[in-house]
Amino acid sequence: MKRQIGFIGLGAMGSGMAANLLAKAWPLTVWAHRNQEAALKLVGAGARQAATPRALAEGCDIVLLCVTGSPQVEAVVKGPEGLAAAGKPLLIVDCSTSNPSSTIALAAELAAQGVTLIDAP
């Protein structure tokens, strides 16, 4: 059984990455803060769309992030509707261009919650 994958950040690069996952038949759930058009296109190709990052995390094992930078990463990870609020083990692969010190601090914070953050810009 394939792992459930979530994808946040459906801009110029992220939408193509997400489409490639679907093309390889990976089960995919997406969440779009700004680019609803890209999300709807992926849904038309077989993805599911989550209402919030938390809802996405609740149904996924792995989440890929392809957002602008550290503030955006922290916004989708932290908070009552963030990925970490799902309260479950999760692997987050951050493909964003983030500040290394912010990523290190966030990874340590998440590790205490059973969440693994990997930096993969």
Query: Domain range spanning residue 43?
Result: 5-119
Whichever domain contains 103, its CATH number is 3.40.50.720
Question: What is the model's pTM?
Answer: 0.95
Single-letter residue type at 37: E
Each residue of 74-95: b (16+ CB within 10 Å) or e?
bebbbeeebbbbbeeebebbbb
Dihedral pair phi/psi, residue 67, rounded to 5°: -105, 180
Q: What pLDDT, on the 0 to 100 scale, is given for residue 119?
A: 95
Number of domains observed in the structure of the chain? 1
pLDDT by residue (tens digit) across 24-67?
999 999 999 887 999 999 999 999 999 999 999 999 999 999 99
11 three-class SS: coil
